Amino acid sequence: MQASEIAARARGRMAPTDINNPKYFHKVVDCQWACPTHTPVPEYIRLIAQGRYAAAYMLNWESNVFPGILGRVCDRPCEPACRRGRIQTSTEVNAKDPSKLNAEPVAICRLKRVAADNKGDIGAFMPDIPATKNGKRIALLGGGPASLTVVRDLMPLGYTCVLYEKDPKGGGLMRTNIPSFRLPEAVLDEEVERITDFGVETRFGKAGMVTSLKAIVDEGYDAVFVGTGAPKGKDLEIPGRKEADKNIHIGIDFLTSVAFGHIKTIGKRVVVIGGGNTAMDCCRTALRMGAEAVTVTVRSPRKVMKASDWEIGDAVYEGIPILENHAPKAFVIKGGKLAGVTFEKMTLTGTDAKGRPQLAPSGELVTVDCDDVLMAIGQDNAFPWIERDIGLEFNEWNMPKVDRTTMMSTRPGVFFGGDAAWGPENIIWAVAHGHQAAISIDSFLHGRPLTDRPAPGATLISQKMGIHEWSYSNDYDAAGRVKVPHADLKSSIRNLRMEVELGYDDKLAAKEVERCLNCDVQTVFTANLCIECDACMDICPVDCINFIDNDDEKGLRKSLRVPAVNASQDLYISSDLKTGRIMAKDEDVCLHCGLCAERCPTGAWDMQKYFYVEPQAAKACLTHHNAYIR
């Protein structure tokens, strides 16, 4: 042994990976791991590939409750996480940061929509709602995705649910803040009503306006869930604000008014202040209401805008300019009326420790003439209706104290979820909160400790069908991401109700599904079968398999064939082999093509499908998931 090797051994050794820990392979399925509700993405993509749309829809519905809605407007944390994006780059420039090309993850979100569009009648798969109730009454405040999820999870268990919503229809921000050219009302109604049809007592409109939590509690509910969102849009107190009030609109209020038809017109020239997704919805809505010149202005550089890059891309595609580094200074008033906004240009002075740009005022003033301003600079939670003397504690930011795991406030029996819990997130997080709150409410009302969370289900099953045949499509398809067809630009930018994206048809979907790498089909290694012939290492197209002397993690990561620099991805470590070496696999860019297993003479490698089931309150809502668990 060389001196360097002796030193390496003295440094430390990585312990063999425990693949029986459900977390290990869960993390390898990056899309599912990144999804707050842990939807089994590769499995539903395979179901779509087989044309089994209803089954694909049901896996989604059980997990994320609103597949048709999310298939259009989800924030899709799965896609930036998609392994495919790490190995394939588009030729298209990124809308947010033009110095970069777009990554090419699988169009997971759009495939979800394919399942929803083609599912047919799924009535037979809906959980049975017991006619005899269990006697417990739950109040749900706010008719958005968080509350609807709690209702969906608790109704099959026999709970009586009372849903309060100040608007005339359920859906919350999905209805009020997402314009219908992105999310058609019919799709929204279908998925919201599917839940309210479970026999929920709805108090919509005036009856659903909650002005006192104490009053709700006093009605004698066994538990209360607060899912009222973050309904207060931030304002900007700069000179001219008061004088121009008539033509300045808070973004989310504006979108709500448009959704319910209270606002039907807008000025010819519109300035949108803010760089988040609400700003993108505002500018595109203004365009469709007849505005001739819409300008988006952001204080920061474009590449740190809060909006998702694809939403920025859509706005840019519709011809809306985005002025970066523009800090609003004053509203220009002429003749007692708004005439424009004055901005001071900001200069980039460097970046802070976290890499965020630091800006300083340049002194250069610019005025953009306009007739209306839409302000989309953030949202706050507001709880003026929660009494401060009912045992529900608030923190220093005047937000209720909510337990991160149980979703319960400091007042037993009062739970929070969605944007109401910790500020603005998105629909999919609201659904995840709803699932957790439902588990807690069920435990709470059955006297079980809330900290005892149900364990996830997981299975690992070989996919070998023949010597070189697998139950999944293991051949790598080098195709690029399939583009979603759009409605004709000229007509769609003038029509509030015309859906812009047309979605994949079955032929396009059949192409896109083949891009999925099936990351849930795991490479499982059995050390005592290995004869160290190197066949797997030689065939691996992405050089992720190594036979190497053990070392500590830092040392191993450095000395692999291709150093493992992506620390978010684990190393799969075997126990000691006959030569004293170990097998170390960097999971980072594994294609799950199965060639390691095909070229293995002893079956030391096998491709095994890992199926993970995130627990929920009602088993009746997981029948499609649990069918995979033996």
Partner 1 sequence: MSYISKPIAHHPALPKNALGLTHREYEGSMSTLCAGCGHDSITAAIIEACFEMDLPAHRIAKISGIGCSSKTPTYFLGRSHGFNSVHGRMPSVTTGANMANRDLVYIGISGDGDTASIGLGQFCHAVRRKLNMTYIVMNNGCYGLTKGQFSATNDKSSPSKKGEANPFEAIDLCQMAIQLGAGFVARSFSGDKRQLIPLIKAAISYKGFAFLDVISPCVTFNNHAQATKSFEYVRAHNQAIGRLDYVEPKEEITVDYASGESKAVTMHDGSHLILHKLDKGHDPRDSNAAIQTIRENAAKGEVATGLLYINEAQQDLHDVLATDDRPLNVLPMSELCPGSKALEGINARLR
Min separation Cβ 574 and partner 1, Å: 17
CA distance 399 to 449: 25
End-to-end CA distance of the chain: 48
Among 469, 505, 506, 552, indicate the residue that binds partner 1 (CB under 8 A).
469
Min separation Cβ 533 and partner 1, Å: 4
Residue 427 C-alpha from the chain's centroid: 7
Stretch that binds partner 1, among 216-224, 307-315, 350-358, 467-475 (CB under 8 A): 467-475
CA distance 174 to 71: 13
Per-position x/- string for 474-503, each x denoting binding to partner 1 as judged by CB under 8 A, each - no binding: xxx-x-------------------------
Min separation Cβ 85 and partner 1, Å: 11
Stretch that binds partner 1, among 124-132, 313-321, 373-381, 560-568 (CB under 8 A): 560-568
Stretch that binds partner 1, among 116-124, 218-226, 360-368, 562-570 (CB under 8 A): 562-570
Residues in contact with partner 1, counted by CB under 8 A, come to a total of 35
DSSP H helical segments within 560-610, as ranges?
595-598
Nearer Cβ to partner 1, position 291 or 589? 589
Residue 448 interacting with partner 1 (CB under 8 A): no
278-281 long-range Cβ contacts below 8 angstroms, 24+ apart: 278/177, 278/233, 278/251, 278/252, 278/376, 278/379, 279/251, 279/307, 279/374, 279/376, 280/307, 280/311, 280/312, 280/314, 280/315, 281/177, 281/178, 281/179, 281/182, 281/251, 281/255, 281/311, 281/376
3-state secondary structure of 269: strand
Residue 579 interacting with partner 1 (CB under 8 A): yes
Looking at residue 400, what DSSP letter applies? B
Among 48, 183, 377, 535, indicate the residue that binds partner 1 (CB under 8 A).
535
CA distance 105 to 82: 5
Min separation Cβ 515 and partner 1, Å: 11
Per-residue tokens: 323? 């002025």
Residue 86 interacting with partner 1 (CB under 8 A): yes
- What is the strand order of the sheet 201-204 is part of? 201-204, 160-165, 137-141, 223-226, 414-416
Residue 539 interacting with partner 1 (CB under 8 A): yes
Nearer Cβ to partner 1, position 28 or 376? 28
Among 238, 365, 601, 629, indicate the residue that binds partner 1 (CB under 8 A).
601
Residue 461 interacting with partner 1 (CB under 8 A): no
3-state class percentages of the chain: helix first, strand second, coil last, to nearest 5: 35, 20, 45
Nearer Cβ to partner 1, position 391 or 601? 601
Nearer Cβ to partner 1, position 387 or 532? 532
Min separation Cβ 600 and partner 1, Å: 6
Residue 91 interacting with partner 1 (CB under 8 A): no
Residue 595 interacting with partner 1 (CB under 8 A): yes
Q: Which residue has the tokens 């190497």?
A: 548
Residue 598 interacting with partner 1 (CB under 8 A): yes
Among 199, 205, 412, 541, indicate the residue that binds partner 1 (CB under 8 A).
541
CA distance 592 to 569: 15
Min separation Cβ 604 and partner 1, Å: 10
Nearer Cβ to partner 1, position 193 or 469? 469
209-216 long-range Cβ contacts below 8 angstroms, 24+ apart: 209/164, 209/166, 210/141, 210/164, 210/166, 210/385, 211/385, 212/385, 212/387, 213/141, 213/385, 213/386, 213/387, 213/390, 213/392, 213/414, 214/387, 214/390, 216/139, 216/141, 216/164
Stretch that binds partner 1, among 246-254, 267-275, 329-337, 535-543 (CB under 8 A): 535-543
Q: How far is CA 251 from CA 235, 257, 399, in A?
A: 10, 10, 22
Min separation Cβ 581 and partner 1, Å: 11
Residue 396 interacting with partner 1 (CB under 8 A): no
Stretch that binds partner 1, among 211-219, 416-424, 434-442, 470-478 (CB under 8 A): 470-478
Nearer Cβ to partner 1, position 209 or 562? 562
Min separation Cβ 462 and partner 1, Å: 17
- Environment class of residue 220 by beta-carbon count within 10 Å: exposed (0-12), middle (13-18) or buried (19+)? exposed
Q: Which residues sit at the interface with partner 1, rule CB under 8 A?
A: 86-88, 468-469, 474-476, 478, 531-535, 537-539, 541-544, 562-563, 565, 578-579, 589, 591, 593, 595, 598-602
